[in-house]
Amino acid sequence: MTIQQGTKALIKELSSIYDEREASAIAAWVFEYITGWRKIDRVINKDSALSQEKIHQLNHFTNELMAHKPVQYVLNESWFDGMKLYVDENVLIPRPETEELMNWFLYEADRLKVASDGKRMRVLDVGTGSGCIPIAIKKKRPSWEVYACDVSEGALRVAKRNATEQKVDIKFHQLNFLQESERSSLPTFDLIISNPPYIAVAEKESIDKHVVEYEPHLALFVPDDDSLVFYKHLADFGESHLAHGGFMMMEMHYAQANLLKNLFSQIGYEVEVRKDMHGNDRMIKVSGEW
């Protein structure tokens, strides 16, 4: 089997569960992983034969992909802000919308007077998962003191591995953020960022199979009767742990924008909502004078 034959065969298989464009993108990713060659090199070497070992690897990957397992988990890699990160089923797959959140966060942080005065910023990422957000922040702002927390021991193993591979120092904490007694041990922060769980359990039926069956429910779903639970605790935490002049920024469900505006405004926060690349209300920034 040649590279070209293998690629066409994989696209044909994947086209039964993905549209043609996505099937082609997944196949390209798989063959870059298997061969170690970028697209131009695979085109040049399209008639090169795959070894039996690589054919066996391809068959294994194909079986997992046909079971709707996301390619990122199949290959144990995902990309975020130009970084290749390790991922497995303990963590959410980093998404472009979260990258947008992180970039807006850095833009607003740089506008703060306290930042322009050269103060060493202390930042917290709540529910860090793969560690994509704090790692990207630390690489872009190496002088900042960056913390990250998660309730999942498995997620923190992944995040610590990624931090080590990216050669950055992040202060990781395992704690249940919904328990005030656990989060109270954290210091005060100039900036807080989070992509918390916000999808109601009732929405599970409308979500893609590859998400529901493989991505960690702990990082996705919240109770139907309390879908804003994490934001309520973030609001409370900000009152006691957000430094004067700082802000919190969070990803959110587009349908919750007005609810969250009301939640934070009633407490006394100033609120700003921003749309994502798809035109959905996806990010919220809140600040207060405590």
* Per-residue confidence (pLDDT) for residue 289, from 0 to 100: 66
Are 160 and 277 found together in one domain? yes
Residue 117: predicted pLDDT: 56
Is pLDDT of 115 > 60? Answer: no
Compute the mean pLDDT over every residue in the chain, rounded to the nearest whole number: 93
- The pLDDT of 47-68, averaged and rounded, is 96
Give the whole-angstrom CA distance, residue 80 versus residue 132. Answer: 7
Is residue 116 predicted with pLDDT exceeding 70? no
DSSP code, position 15: T
**Residue 56's domain spans which residues?**
3-67
How far apart CA 121 and CA 178 sit, in angstroms, is 25
Average pLDDT over residues 198-217: 84
Q: What is the dihedral of CA 214, 124, 110, 249, to 10 degrees?
A: 60
Q: Is residue 161 part of a domain?
A: yes
* C-alpha span between 14 and 20 (Å, rounded): 8
At 200 the pLDDT is: 83
Count of the separate structural domains present in the chain:
2
| pLDDT tens figures, 142-168 | 999 999 999 999 999 999 999 999 999
How far, in Å, CA of 14 to CA of 8, rounded? 10
In this structure, the answer to whether residues 112 and 154 fall within a common structural domain is: yes
Q: Give the whole-angstrom CA distance, residue 228 versus residue 220.
A: 13
The domain that contains 104 carries what CATH number? 3.40.50.150
The answer on pLDDT for 290 being more than 60 is: no
**Structural domain includes residue 72:** no
Instruction: State whether 62 and 137 are in the same domain.
Output: no
Cα–Cα dist 174/156, whole Å: 7
Domain co-membership, 107 together with 251: yes
